[in-house]
């Protein structure tokens, strides 16, 4: 069985214009947009993940929710019943998009990948670079490791990379 990462993290996102509005509001509050997912179901869920240099608490999520509800032109992007969810990245978060990989630069990550023989392997290190060809880690042994996307199955923040 061949395992691959779901989707291209550097592919264009269909909700990019909405993300730009959300990012502008958050930036004006001193917050960073880590990720924005739009999920369709009985209602549309807009799941926004935010970060701040000193960490994110519940009060920040509430303020961000209120600001986004008031300042983003939602009716230009969504119809019908929709909900907004604002949260912090959390320990062990899986990185899936280019925005998340850019945000995680300099943080400790755990990469589940495929070895040269095709078997599973886990690499740990500091995320130094992420581009359309792959990622580069600085390992604890002070070694630079380039991993092409075709060898990446999943990338998660390591437990020590999120401040509490």
CATH code assigned at 113: 2.30.30.100
pTM over 0.75: no
Burial of 38 (0-12, 13-18, 19+ CB in 10 A): middle
| 22: in domain | yes
Whether residue 158 has pLDDT greater than 80: yes
Range of the structural domain that residue 25 is part of: 16-87
b vs e for 24-34, b when ≥16 Cβ sit within 10 Å of the residue's Cβ?
ebbeeeebbbb
Residues in the chain: 164
On whether residue 153 sits in a domain, the answer given is: yes
Radius of gyration of the chain (CA): 17
DSSP 94: B
Residue 107: inside a domain: yes
Residues 82 and 102 in one domain: no
Residue 69: phi and psi, rounded to 5, are -60, -35
Domain boundary among 87, 107, 127: 87
Cβ neighbours for 37, distance < 8 A, ≥ 6 positions apart: 45, 46, 47
4 located within any domain: no
CATH number, domain at 81? Answer: 3.30.300.70
- Quickly list H helices, the chain: 16-28, 58-71, 98-103
pLDDT of 152: 94
Region 58-73 average pLDDT: 97
Q: Euclidean distance between the first and final Cα of the chain, in Å?
A: 38
Q: Are residues 23 and 82 in the same domain?
A: yes
Share of the chain above pLDDT 70, in %: 93
Largest CA distance in the chain: 53
Say how many domains are in the chain: 2
* Judgement on whether residues 80 and 26 belong to the same structural domain of the protein: yes
Is 11 a domain residue? no
Helices 58-71 + 16-28 axis angle, to 10: 120
* Domain end residue (candidates: 43, 67, 87): 87
Residue 67 has pLDDT above 80, yes or no: yes
pLDDT > 50? residue 93: yes
Whether residue 33 contacts residue 22, with contact meaning beta carbons closer than 8 Å, is answered with yes
């Amino acid at each position: 069985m061949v395992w691959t990462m779901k989707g291209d993290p550097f592919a264009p996102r269909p909700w990019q214009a909405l993300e730009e509005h959300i990012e502008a509001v958050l930036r004006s509050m001193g917050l960073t947009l880590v990720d924005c997912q739009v999920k369709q179901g009985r209602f549309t869920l807009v799941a926004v993940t935010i970060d701040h240099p000193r960490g994110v608490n519940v009060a920040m999520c509430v303020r961000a929710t209120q600001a986004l509800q008031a300042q983003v032109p939602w009716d230009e992007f969504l119809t019908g019943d929709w909900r907004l969810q604002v949260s912090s990245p959390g320990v062990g978060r899986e990185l899936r998009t280019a925005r998340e990989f850019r945000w995680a630069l300099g943080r400790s990550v755990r990469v589940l990948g495929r070895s040269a023989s095709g078997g599973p392997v886990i690499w740990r290190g500091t995320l130094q670079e992420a581009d359309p060809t792959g990622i580069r880690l600085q390992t604890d042994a002070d070694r630079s490791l380039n991993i092409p996307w075709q060898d990446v199955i999943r990338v998660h923040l390591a437990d020590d990379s999120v401040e509490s």
